[in-house]
Structure 1
């Protein structure tokens, strides 16, 4: 990767093939005694590849739609999700499934269509301040692109949780995608564009924390300082954003959520496990806090999942590009899930959440268990007396 980045070896198809097989989970970083930043080397190498390679018409089209539009302009993402809502509610989805139309497409697309959550009609958070009774702590909330459209219920629950713990929550109006998907795919120029837009928005008010509820987004936000290290006019502001960025589980833990009585609402004993978000674990080093929160809930038996510290195979869009390898990783993970047979698999990243939902379906366990974001699990199942 370093040789490609520095131009010491020529780029060819074999280099791209080798690097594309990497999940980008960055588990190599905490394992490396020398502290090599493999994630940044990978992004830079992929940047060289995208600059040097001759792209097919299909790849140019996909990259333009994805990186220049959907994940660059929030309104276009919202329109795409509105179309998905129409597909789900108009009867078109039912017809498509009955006629088995999706069988003409790659298997992974048919499987992913089956686990996509039903898009609810909700007023999206377009900015504003959500006050609490105390307003002791001022936080900015990074809504994310997928979280704010497909998982808007989780965003609403996140804001309500923060308000319940005395936070005044500010949602910057013109925030955009964090840029993680761009950066991981070698589109570093576009990643930096998004970073600059977000930085300008998030430094407009003085806050104690910048909160996110998506592990991949949080990791990228925390590394804005590194991303823009060669831009003196943004470096100090990028540093502020990086230093104030925190994931929702870490902030809830810091606010003392485990000090309050956490009761399972149905008083029925259930078993829960946790699948790590790779970037939350390997980049931001958040490992114990989600587990401690789950373990503090009465009538909840926490079961550690073997291999939870390894990637589930989602890895951004890896499960779409390298679906065969991704599904092998996922099926292996589900064998470990079967050993402990939990009622609920909890995670903290939208890609991981969809992947675990897919794993449950592939394993034929949809009647026995479900996958939830940690925030939704707390919101739906836990009573907090604070």
Structure 2
């Protein structure tokens, strides 16, 4: 562990009101950033063993990093959390089923985009073949945990294999050229959320951006990094840096807050590798969220944006806000749409409980956090909830489904809403 970083924490408690798990657990100190850092330090000093209770405390953390912007000492809590999880994972003897699943996911699936397409294609077959209707009619889904069964109902319609394979590599600007950019497509975004990626590229074209889409890019490595598989995330990072570093572009654009936040941390991830440290820093400095580039080129002033009347609210992506420091741009774009009423949600910057696969592996805590989020959402009387990250989008759809609000409310990625407004 980075002991200097551990010692940076002054135990002042400024992080406590910003921590969803501390609040939701009934103000349990071991479920706060300050408490978790104290536990890490105690393990490093040999005062306690890294037992099951210690690991549970770390696993209960969302990794939302809301503690970082409010920390007067500037503690990089997210880095400490990932480091601790990696050390635990490397020294833990997992059971055979767990080892098998981890190997299949972290080595066999996410690093290979063609396998991601095939896996998503199976989901598409399930949706289009009638198997989904049969599964629902026979009640098979009741055998699964409630959150998983509900998640199955809110998954987007998966594109066909032909659509997933027929991806562009270059797109010209469709307005006076403002920027030359590269697009980070992501793994889930370019399969399950393919339409959002298409809308992202269209908006960039309308904003006057020439777009390059490198074929050799791959998964950002966030899932690996957050799950104690740091070596795997380093390999993916190096491949992405190689894919983009020779391109003569102004920016590398992302449309998923979780991916973007991990990409801008590549310099930290590879800080101990002399051959890659500077290359990672150069890569990081070009990363920009889609909302930031659209705001920068004044897209909302050049293109007429209009929708039928609806009340719209915005749920921050934790990593987009807390790591990439992007909060004003998406709001400015939404407020520029004629015909809508924008209402700020209370605690819009508090995590929705998605946090990658947290809503699957820590379902109980995730659903409690989501329940609070839905209370704040309903208080706005919004019919449209906007997010900027696929995990947040699915979680908000899950909340809407759980509350029985499908007829009154929808959740949508900001890119898709802007595309509607352009049309």
- The aligned counterpart of 2:410 is 370
Whether contact under 8 Å (2:164, 2:190) holds in the other structure is no
Whether contact under 8 Å (1:139, 1:210) holds in the other structure is yes
Alpha-carbon distance in structure 1 between the residues aligned to 2:315 and 2:268 = 28
1:198 pairs with 228, 235, 240, which one? 240
Question: For each residue in 1:194-239, what CA deviation from the matched residue of structure 2 results, as whole angstroms up to 9, or x when unmatched?
Answer: 0000000011212100000000000111111111011111112111
- The aligned counterpart of 1:257 is 299
Task: Find the residue that maps to 2:404 and give its secondary structure.
Answer: coil
- The aligned counterpart of 1:132 is 173
Alpha-carbon distance in structure 2 between the residues aligned to 1:5 and 1:301 = 51
Question: For each residue in 1:57-98, what CA deviation from the matched residue of structure 2 results, as whole angstroms up to 9, or x when unmatched?
Answer: 221122112111221111111111000000001110000000
Alpha-carbon distance in structure 2 between the residues aligned to 1:63 and 1:341 = 42
1:277 pairs with 305, 317, 336, which one? 317
Alpha-carbon distance in structure 1 between the residues aligned to 2:117 and 2:247 = 26
Post-superposition offset of 1:124: 4.0
Alpha-carbon distance in structure 2 between the residues aligned to 1:351 and 1:123 = 20
Alpha-carbon distance in structure 1 between the residues aligned to 2:246 and 2:105 = 28
The farther-off stretch of 368-377 and 230-239 is 230-239
Alpha-carbon distance in structure 2 between the residues aligned to 1:48 and 1:286 = 31
- The aligned counterpart of 2:104 is 65
Task: Find the residue that maps to 2:407 and give its secondary structure.
Answer: coil
Alpha-carbon distance in structure 2 between the residues aligned to 1:280 and 1:4 = 31
Whether contact under 8 Å (1:4, 1:11) holds in the other structure is no
Post-superposition offset of 1:10: 3.5
- The aligned counterpart of 1:98 is 137
TM-score by length of 2: 0.87
Please tell me whether residue 20 in structure 1 is matched to residue 20 in structure 2: no
- The aligned counterpart of 1:245 is 287
Change (3 A) 1:124 1:275: farther
- The aligned counterpart of 2:41 is 3
Task: Find the residue that maps to 2:189 and give its secondary structure.
Answer: helix
Post-superposition offset of 1:174: 1.1
Which structure 2 residues correspond to residues 178-217 of structure 1 after superposition, within 5 A? 178-217=220-259
- The aligned counterpart of 2:366 is 326
Report how many aligned residue pairs link the two structures.
381
Whether contact under 8 Å (2:305, 2:338) holds in the other structure is yes
Alpha-carbon distance in structure 2 between the residues aligned to 1:297 and 1:5 = 52
Task: Find the residue that maps to 1:312 and give its secondary structure.
Answer: coil
- The aligned counterpart of 1:76 is 115
Task: Find the residue that maps to 1:269 and give its secondary structure.
Answer: strand
Question: For each residue in 1:104-138, what CA deviation from the matched residue of structure 2 results, as whole angstroms up to 9, or x when unmatched?
Answer: 12222111100000112224465511112444411
The farther-off stretch of 212-221 and 98-107 is 98-107
2:394 pairs with 337, 354, 359, which one? 354
Post-superposition offset of 1:302: 0.3
The farther-off stretch of 132-141 and 74-83 is 132-141
Alpha-carbon distance in structure 2 between the residues aligned to 1:5 and 1:69 = 33
- The aligned counterpart of 2:12 is none
Which structure 2 residues correspond to residues 154-193 of structure 1 after superposition, within 5 A? 154-193=196-235
- The aligned counterpart of 1:308 is 348
Whether contact under 8 Å (2:159, 2:191) holds in the other structure is no
The farther-off stretch of 122-131 and 17-26 is 122-131
Task: Find the residue that maps to 2:252 and give its secondary structure.
Answer: strand
Alpha-carbon distance in structure 2 between the residues aligned to 1:109 and 1:261 = 40
Alpha-carbon distance in structure 2 between the residues aligned to 1:199 and 1:160 = 25
TM-score by length of 1: 0.95
2:327 pairs with 283, 287, 292, which one? 287
Gaps of 5+ in 1: none
Task: Find the residue that maps to 2:338 and give its secondary structure.
Answer: coil
Post-superposition offset of 1:156: 0.6
